[in-house]
A = this chain, B = another copy of it.
């Protein structure tokens, strides 16, 4: 695969991937992939990640069903990161928001605000 030849995985064998919603261009989440996850993501057109806390490969949305269907793939000038533009099912964040970046920091007032609305109730989705 041409793509793999261009990429540099870090000393843990991982590369950061920015997942972008192809509908509105918003950054949904940042995840880590190992070589196997990149390959599987390309082959299946569904985002797979290397879950560092569990030390294993999994499809994004494994528990929730909120998968990400890959439409476009980009990589950076140094081969140190990827962008996957995806069709997001429901929402990307396990906290119930569309994106993981639902909190904004305001430097002038040194304050934090939630700037997205909840799309689903995590208790209902994850404790079925």
Within 8 A of B (CB), among A1-28: 1-3, 6, 16, 18, 20, 24-27
Against B, the Cβ 8 Å flags (1 = close, 0 = not) of A48-73 are 00000000000000000000000011
A63 CB to closest chain B CB, in angstroms?
Answer: 15
Against B, the Cβ 8 Å flags (1 = close, 0 = not) of A94-118 are 1101001111111100111001000
CB-defined contacts of A42 to chain B, threshold 8 Å:
105, 107
Across the interface, name the chain B residue whose C-beta is closest to A29: B76
Interface residue A47 (Cβ < 8 Å from any Cβ of B): no
Bound complex: CA A9 to CA B57 (Å): 23
Q: Contact between A73 and B104 (Cβ–Cβ < 8 Å)?
A: yes
Q: Contact between A30 and B18 (Cβ–Cβ < 8 Å)?
A: yes
CB-defined contacts of A25 to chain B, threshold 8 Å:
24-26
Interface residue A83 (Cβ < 8 Å from any Cβ of B): yes
Bound complex: CA A97 to CA B31 (Å): 25
Q: Contact between A101 and B72 (Cβ–Cβ < 8 Å)?
A: no
Across the interface, name the chain B residue whose C-beta is closest to A109: B2
Top 10 closest A-B pairs, CB basis? A74-B101, A76-B100, A25-B25, A30-B81, A73-B105, A3-B105, A77-B100, A77-B95, A42-B107, A83-B101
